[in-house]
Amino acid sequence: MKTQSKTVVFITGAFVGHNSWKNWKTYFENKGYNVIVPAWPHKDADPATLRKRQPDAALGQLNLAQLIAHFEKIVRELPEKPILIGHSLGGLITQILLQKNIAAAGIAVHSAPPKGVSPVSYAFLRSAWGAFGLFKPAKTTHLMSFKEWQWAFANGMTEAEQRASYEELAIPEARQVIRDGISDITKVDFDKKQQPLLFIAGTEDHFFSPKVNHDNYSRYKNSKSVTDYKVFEGINHGVLGLPTWQNQADYAFNWLNN
């Protein structure tokens, strides 16, 4: 797959700051790309500052439709169709924006699935239960505890590594955005022709398993669309911050330029 676009927009997922892309940003800049890493609304600050805002009343008002519109506006205002690379919920937003024909290609890293592709498993429910907060008001925020983070983002790491990643990345999240992730807002047309899309998954991801990512990938039916899938062994949901991050970045770059 070969794209001429030299602009990359990174779309951050839930629960983490946009600083999670720092290694990928440098990597793609060194490859000659113009790199844009937009913050979510109400999240344009470092994670330590954002954690101090918990509970964050402004962030609590955000919903998924507004978040998608936020990234769509950024993409549409660019002088060329960019490459979209999204992690987790950002991967789902990548899928949705790609269907609007405003991007040259998309890469969904450990992606949240769209409507119709079920993520439900014990590991997923344990990862997401606190954020869903079914018995709490929708217009509130949830900050993962360190224990939740250990399971959802940092499984398989040493405790020192887990604590370091929590301090560096963890931020509060809008409950409404998380709840909207299983709504009709997330529908995609799997039969529609679209620009190339790559799914990257990891075997140790408790949030969105390789099966969820493969089910998502396999729904695309249009024979004229390029849709690919790659799974990496031993990788958890915190893929962007692992010491092995360059393996996924290399694969993404090579896929874009083959």
Average pLDDT, the chain: 97
Q: Tokens 């949030």 belong to which residue?
A: 207
Q: From residue 169, how far is each of 16, 90, 146, 166, 206 by CA, in Å? A: 5, 15, 12, 5, 18
Dump pLDDT digits (tens) for 122-143: 999 999 999 999 889 999 999 9
pTM exceeds 0.75: yes
Dump pLDDT digits (tens) for 140-165: 999 999 999 999 999 999 999 999 99
Average pLDDT over residues 230-237: 98
**What DSSP letter does each residue of 45-89 carry, written as one string?**
S-HHHHHHT-S-HHHHT--HHHHHHHHHHHHHTSSSPPEEEEETH
Specify the 3-state DSSP secondary structure of 19.
helix
Question: Please, which pLDDT band fits residue 223 given cuts at 50, 70 and 90?
Answer: confident
pLDDT value of residue 2: 82
**Neighbouring-strand partners of residue 211:** none
- State yes or no: cis peptide before 55, omega within 30 of 0: yes
Q: What's 82's DSSP letter?
A: P
pLDDT value of residue 201: 98
- pLDDT of 1 > 80? The answer is no
- pLDDT of 91 > 80? The answer is yes
